[in-house]
Amino acid sequence: MALLTALILLAACTQFVKASDGCGGELARLQQQEQLLKRQLQKQELLLRSLQLMTQQGNNDAGSDRVQDTQHADCSQVYSSGFKSSGLYRIRPSGSPSAVKVYCDMTEGGGWTVLQRRVNGTEAFNRSWTEYKDGFGDLNAEFWLGNDNLHFLTTQGNYSVKINLEDFDGHQRYAEYKNFQVANEKKHYRLSFGDYVGTAGDALTGSYQVPEVKWASHQGMKFSTYDQDNDNYRGNCAQEDKGGWWFNKCHSANLNGVYYPNGHYSASTDDGVVWYPWRGWWYSLKTSIMKLRPVDYKTRLVDDQSLSFSSSSLSPRRSSVPVATGWPDAKSGEDIAARLEEEMSERGCLFLETVL
């Protein structure tokens, strides 16, 4: 920070003054200048912390409260109404008996309703039918939004699902499917989806190898959990692979499996966080984020920094607080630091007559 730089230069100059016989009473005035800069630096640091807290609170709580009364159907409507920051909001999908708190991802064009997130393994995903029905976890961390909510969201229009994946080497891939839809509980939340685009490989259709399609495709599959077996396998895929999912016999993708913290793993079954076409059955991914947005949504890329406090506007380096010095055009600590350094190099302690 420039004010801190100015303080360092002033301290150095103080030592220079002490060593000089001709500076005399300038030392006391220099120390007064140092105290003034310290007070301004403290005020700016307090302002920065306050603004950061206000921004965080606005993203997580205020946004949710403000949207609650409007009852938007999804995060794309939240975004279109002017809320551009990612965070928690309330929506009410068509057919839903009540408002639902969701995490809206306003990156990648904005308007994404996040339905699943895996990032660190803190949340157990080997849950019961009821838990998957209602949803579980922390919306700011790892969670499943709930199968009832998925049904209400995806049957009120034509939705795409985007799946962002990352491995433990930092490599990222994605898969996106149009016409993503989840049926109601009576139909066991049957899954259907349309065309694939992406870089991770088409795991949901299982079409990466023709012989595997019959048992690896997730198209038309019912949802299964350890306590409700709806798959096509003679056993219970959810029980063996330790997570709820749209299993066939059993899977080529299972993003609700066991979270293994090192990627490669060995187990009695391929029960990791798996996306087979990319890293195979025996590699458990570091990150999985599944999110929904209407197919006909008009993408509008927005620089979030232009709509909120940027790092430069919050930083004391860009302070607009005027500092009382002998330089009328010095508007910030950064200007003062430059002037101090220039004067010290050219004139020694005599520059104090100009400063003070």
The answer as to whether 197 is a domain residue is: yes
| Secondary structure letter of residue 217 according to DSSP | -
- 3-state secondary structure at position 173: strand
Q: Could you state, in chain order, the average pLDDT of each consecutive group of 10 residues for the chain (356 residues)?
A: 53 53 66 73 62 53 50 95 96 95 97 98 98 98 98 98 98 98 98 97 81 82 98 96 96 96 95 96 97 86 38 34 45 53 47 39
- Predicted local distance difference test score (pLDDT) of residue 351: 39
- Predicted local distance difference test score (pLDDT) of residue 30: 74
Pairing state between β 274-275 and 136-137: unpaired
Q: Which helix (H) or strand (E) holds 92?
A: none
Pairing state between β 287-294 and 112-118: antiparallel
The answer as to whether 210 is a domain residue is: yes
Q: Which helix (H) or strand (E) holds 166?
A: strand 159-166
- Predicted local distance difference test score (pLDDT) of residue 115: 98
- What is the total count of domains within the chain? 1
The answer as to whether 279 is a domain residue is: yes
Neighbour count for residue 171 (Cβ, 10 Å): 12
The answer as to whether 317 is a domain residue is: no
The answer as to whether 259 is a domain residue is: yes
Domain housing 229: 75-294
The answer as to whether 327 is a domain residue is: no
Global confidence as pTM: 0.68
The answer as to whether 87 is a domain residue is: yes
- Predicted local distance difference test score (pLDDT) of residue 240: 96
Say which CATH number the domain at 165 has: 3.90.215.10
Catalogue the long-range contacts made by 152-155 (C-beta closer than 8 Å, 24 or more residues apart).
Answer: 152/93, 152/94, 152/95, 152/96, 153/74, 153/93, 153/113, 153/115, 153/292, 154/180, 154/181, 154/182, 154/292, 155/94, 155/95, 155/181, 155/182, 155/183, 155/184
The answer as to whether 248 is a domain residue is: yes
**Cβ neighbours for 46, distance < 8 A, ≥ 6 positions apart:** none
